[in-house]
Amino acid sequence: MIDVVVPGLETSVQDFPGRIGFWNQGFPPSGPFDSWSFRLANLLVGNPAGAAGLECQYVGPTLKFTQAAVIAVTGADMTATLDGTPVPLWQSVAVKADQVLKMGPAKSATRAYIAIAGGIDTVPWLGSRSTFHKAGVGGLAGSALKKGSQIPVAYATGTPGRSVKPQCRPAFSSTKQWQIEVVPGPDDDWIDAAGQARFLDSDWKLSGKSDRTGFRLDGPQWTFTSKAYDKLPENGSEPSNIIDHGYPLGAINLAGQTPIILVSDGPSMGGFINPYTVPSAAFWKLGQSRPGDVYRFKAVSVDEAQALRRALDALCSENSLA
Amino acid sequence: MGERIETQVPGNIWKVLVKPGDAVKAGDTLFIMEVMKTEVPHDAGVDGTVSEVRIAEGEEGVEAGILAIVIT
Segments making up each domain of chain A, as ranges? 2-164, 177-315
User: In order of start, what are the domains of chain B with their CATH numbers?
Assistant: 3-71 (2.40.50.100)
Of A104, A212, A291, the CB nearest to B10: A291
Name the average pLDDT for chain A: 97
Give tens-digit pLDDT for A88-101: 999 999 999 999 99
SS3 B57: coil
Which residues have a Cβ under 8 Å from the Cβ of A85 and sit 6 or more positions away?
none
Mean pLDDT, range A137-158, rounded to an integer? 96
Calculated CA dihedral for residues A219, A220, A225, A228, nearest 10 degrees: 60
Gap between the Cα atoms of A137 and A143, Å rounded: 7
Q: What is residue A209's predicted lDDT score, i.e. its pLDDT?
A: 84
0.90 cut: is pTM over it?
A: yes
From B8, B35, B40, residue closest to A291, measured CB to CB:
B35
Asked whether the beta carbons of residue B36 and residue A57 sit closer than 8 angstroms, the reply is yes
Measured between beta carbons, the chain B residues lying within 8 angstroms of A291 are 10-11, 35, 61
HEC letters along chain A: CEEEEECCCCCEEECCCCCCCCHHHCCCCCCCCCHHHHHHHHHHCCCCCCCCEEEEECECCEEEECCCEEEEEEECCCCCEECCEECCCCEEEEECCCCEEECCECCCCCEEEEEECCCECCCCECCECCCEHHHCECCECCECCCCCCEECECCCCCCCCCEECHHHCCCCCCCCEEEEEEEECCCHHHECHHHHHHHHHCCEEECCCCCCCEEEEECCCCCECHHHCCCCHHHCCCCCEEEEEECCCCEEEEECCEEEEECCCCCCEEEEEEEEECCHHHHHHHHHCCCCCEEEEEECCHHHHHHHHHHHHHHCCHHHEC
Q: Is B40 close to A9, i.e. CB distance below 8 A?
A: yes
Torsional sign, CA A93, A284, A301, A250: positive
Cα Rg of chain A, angstroms: 20
Chain B hits for A105, Cβ within 8 Å: 8-9, 64-65
Topology of domain A177-315 in CATH is Cyclophilin (2.40.100)
A204 bridge partner residues: A295
Residues in chain A closer than 8 A to B43 (CB atoms): none
A53-74 per-position pLDDT tens digit: 999 999 999 999 999 999 999 9
Q: At A174, is the pLDDT very low, low, confident or very high (cuts 50, 70, 90)?
A: confident
Residue B37 has pLDDT above 80, yes or no: no
Per residue in A256-280, pLDDT (tens digit) is: 999 999 999 999 999 999 999 999 9
Q: Give the whole-angstrom CA distance, residue A18 versus residue A251.
A: 18
The Cα of B8 is separated from the nearest Cα of chain A by a number of Å equal to 6
Residue B20 to residue A297: CA distance in whole angstroms: 45
| CA nearest neighbour of A160 among A91, A98, A99 | A91
- Residue B36: its chain A contacts at CB < 8 A? 9-10, 57-58, 208, 210-212
> Angle at CA B43, nearest 5°, toward A111 and A72?
25
Q: How confident is the model at residue A158 (pLDDT cuts 50, 70, 90)?
A: very high
| Residue contacts between A and B (CB atoms, under 8 Å) | 50
Beta-bridge partners for A269: A246
Please indicate if any CB of chain A lies within 8 Å of the CB of B49.
Answer: no
Q: What is the pLDDT of residue A147?
A: 96
Å between A7 CA and nearest CA of chain B = 12
Round to the nearest angstrom and report the end-to-end CA distance of chain B: 7
Please tell me the predicted confidence (pLDDT) of residue B61: 87
Write the single-letter amino acid at B38: T
Cα separation of B21 and B51, whole Å? 6
